[in-house]
Amino acid sequence: MTITESESLEFSYFVEHTRFCPSGRSFTLETDPEIRKRIARRLGIPSVESLVGEAVIKSTAIGFTIEGRLCATLIRECVSTLEPLSESIDERFVLEFTRKLADCEDGEDLSLLEEPEYVENDEIDLGEILVQQLALMMDAYPRKVDTTTLIERYGRVEERSPFAVLLGEVAEVDGEG
């Protein structure tokens, strides 16, 4: 089995998936400070404080499955105040891959099917998979506890009808008249 590391992405760890048995093989990947700095830059966040991934790769009849767990501590920016806040992630994931392309009718979009992802070569980048899973698991709108929202702070924007001018409502609001 060939396992190599690469500098091409923020965190690469290539594994040859063709030699695994159905019972699988376990991997634990930890990141060093330089890799975490590059991942934070890619994700557009202030800092990745820790990132550990566990994965079991199991062979299937037409491909392989990755069952994993990702644990991370991130420093993010609050969407309301832009102040730093800590986000902890501890989640599991399952990914299915196939070595044979699914049969599709002409014009059918493969990306919409609930099929395993197709893999052409004998290696997968387990490090890149963990970074992608981290990006999916991050809170889309991180917000500090007990922070007021912009609506709470500044109030709701008053909606006007596009016909307000015709109805004479704009003159009162704009001070015209």
pLDDT of residue 123: 86
Residue with tokens 């998979």: 129
pLDDT tens string 71-112: 999 999 998 888 999 999 999 999 998 876 655 555 545 444
The pTM assigned to this predicted structure is 0.72
Alpha carbons 63 and 96: distance in angstroms, whole number: 8
Per-domain residue ranges for the chain? Answer: 3-144
d(CA 14, CA 95): 16
Q: What is the pLDDT of residues 102-142, one digit of tens each?
A: 555 555 454 444 567 777 778 889 999 999 999 999 999 99
CA angle 110, 112, 118 (to 5 degrees): 40
